[in-house]
Structure 1
Amino acid sequence: MERKSAAGSIRNKERSKKKFLDAVGKILKTKGYTGLKINDIAATAGVDKKMIYTYFGGMDGLMDEYIRSQDFWSKMTAEEVEKIKPIIDDYGKTFAKEMFLSQFEYVYKNKEAQKLLLWRLSEPRKELKKLTDLQEANGEYIFKLFADSHFKENDSVFRSIMAIMVSGLYYLNMFSSINGSLFCGIDVNSPEGRDQIKEAMSFLIDHSYDKLEDKNDKVK
């Protein structure tokens, strides 16, 4: 009986935590980050606000967990990369394409992720700074795993190109969702337009690898 009771308690806790996380997402989508008040979150979740402190340690902990659950690059931990088992022989070129394609589609389909991006650009908060730090740590692991040894003295140029691509794909999705679908004559909301963006992304990655790779690797 005790074992059953403990299992039931764990399930109830997980359900309640999910309700709080879902409530944060709902408020963020409908009211924006200014609507994220503890009483409103609890009312939307239908759970006593005291449980926010019990389960998350307070609002900061709740925001931390919500942000991690919605951001694409913060999920790309060393453990997750290991699970994917990316190809090593091409120095991460295939992996980079797959990750950028995944990011492009993830943000396009996830309105909460879009609101989170707007929040990060609109307000300095320690929870959002933690997200940036986590993204940087995950990105550093990926760069060191694949690119640094391949590009050597061109490493900083390659990183700069990747930075432009990540931010550009974010912006195209945000722009098409809020201000209309046409950007440089490309309909970003149409399948054809999105395919054109994906093709251009693959071209940029291929070109970066071809032009920036270390000369010694070419000789090999």
Structure 2
Amino acid sequence: MERKSAGGSIRNKERSKKKFLDAVGKILKTKGYTGLKVNAIATTAGVDKKMIYTYFGGIDGLMDEYIRSQDFWSKITPEELEHIKPRVDDGGKSFMTEMMLSQFDYVHQNKEAQKLLLWRLSEPRKALKKLTDTQEENGEYIFKLMNGDNFGKHSDDIRSIMAIMVSGLYYLNLYAEMNGSIFCGIDVSTEEGRNKIKKAISFLLGQTYDNLKDSE
């Protein structure tokens, strides 16, 4: 009986935590980050606000966990890479192409991720700075795993090109969602338009890897 009670307590805790995380997402989508107050989150979740401190250590801890759950690149951890065992013999070209395409679709489909991106651009916050640090740590691991010594003096060129592509794909999705879907004559909201962007992603990465390796 004691085991069952303990198990039930754990399940209740996880359900309550999920309610809080869902509440953050709902408020972020409907009211923006300025609506993320303790009382509002607790009311939306239907859970006593004291539990925010019990489960997360406070509002910052709740924000940390929510942000990690929604950000695309924070999920690409060393542990996750070890699990999926990506191909590395091509310098990471196929893996990075897959990741860029996945990022493009993920942000397009995830309204909470879009709001999170806008939040990061609008407010300096400890939890958001931690997200950036986590992304950089994961990114550094990916670069070292994927590229190794393949590009030598061109390693920073690869990083710079990736920075432009990651930020550009973020912007395309945000622009299409917030201000209209046509960008440079491409309708980013349609399957046809998005497929054109994806084709360009594959082309750009292919050219980048092939040309930089050839110039060594």
TM-score normalised by the shorter chain: which range applies? over 0.9
Name the aligned partner's letter for residue 132 of structure 1. T
Q: Structure 2: how far apart are the matches of 1:157 and 1:109?
A: 30
The answer to whether the 8 Å contact 1:153/1:214 transfers is no
- Separation in structure 1 between the aligned mates of residue 151 and residue 193 of structure 2, nearest angstrom: 32
TM superposition outliers: structure 1 runs of 4+ over 6 Å: none
The 5-angstrom pairing of residues 13-28 of structure 1 reads 13-28=13-28
Letter of the 1:78 counterpart: P
Matched, 1:176 2:176: yes
Matched residue, 1:77: 77
Give the partner amino acid of 2:179.
N
Deviations 1:119-149 (A, max 9, x none): 0000000100000000000000000011141
Which is worse superposed, 144-153 or 17-26? 144-153
SS class of match (1:149):
coil
Distance, in Å, in 1 between the alignment partners of 2:215 and 2:70 is 40
1:154·1:212 contact (CA, 8 Å) conserved in 2? yes
Rounded to whole Å, the distance in 1 between the matches of 2:154 and 2:26 is 44
Q: Distance in 1 between matches of 2:213 and 2:3?
A: 58
Contact 2:91/2:148 (<8 A) preserved: no
Structure 1 spans left out of the alignment, 5+ residues: none
- Is 1:94 the counterpart of 2:94 in the alignment? yes
1:56 matched residue in structure 2: 56
In the alignment, what sits opposite 2:3? 3
1:154/1:214 contact within 8 Å kept:
no
Aligned to 2:149: 149
Instruction: Tell me if structure 2 keeps the 8 A contact 1:150–1:214.
Output: no
Aligned to 1:195: 195
Q: Give yes or no for the alignment of 1:206 onto 2:198.
A: no
In 1, distance between residues paired with 2:103 and 2:56? 28
2: CA distance between counterparts of 1:159 and 1:8?
48
Residue matched to 2:117: 117
Q: What is the aligned partner in structure 1 of residue 140 from structure 2?
A: 140
Structure 2: distance between partners of 1:149 and 1:215: 14
TM-score by length of 2: 0.98
What is the distance in 1 between the residues matched to 2:162 and 2:193? 21
Aligned partner letter, 1:193: G
Deviation, structure 1 residue 91: 1.4
- What secondary structure does 1:189 align onto? coil
Letter in 1 for 2:80: E
Partner of 1:43: 43
| Partner amino acid, structure 2, of 1:202 | S
Contact 1:33 1:119 in 2 (8 A): yes
Aligned residues between the structures: 216
1:173·1:188 contact (CA, 8 Å) conserved in 2?
Answer: yes
Counterpart amino acid of 1:76? I
One-letter code aligned to 2:57 = G
Q: 1:164 corresponds to which letter in structure 2?
A: I
Aligned-residue Cα RMSD (Å) equals 0.9
For structure 2, the residue ranges without an aligned partner over 5 or more in a row are none
Task: Give the conservation status (yes or no) of the 8 Å contact 2:23–2:45.
Answer: yes
The Cα of 1:215 is off from its aligned counterpart by 5.2
Query: Which letter does structure 1 place at the counterpart of 2:109?
Result: K
Q: How big is the shift at 1:155?
A: 0.6
Residue identity (%): 75
Q: Secondary structure at the match of 2:149?
A: helix
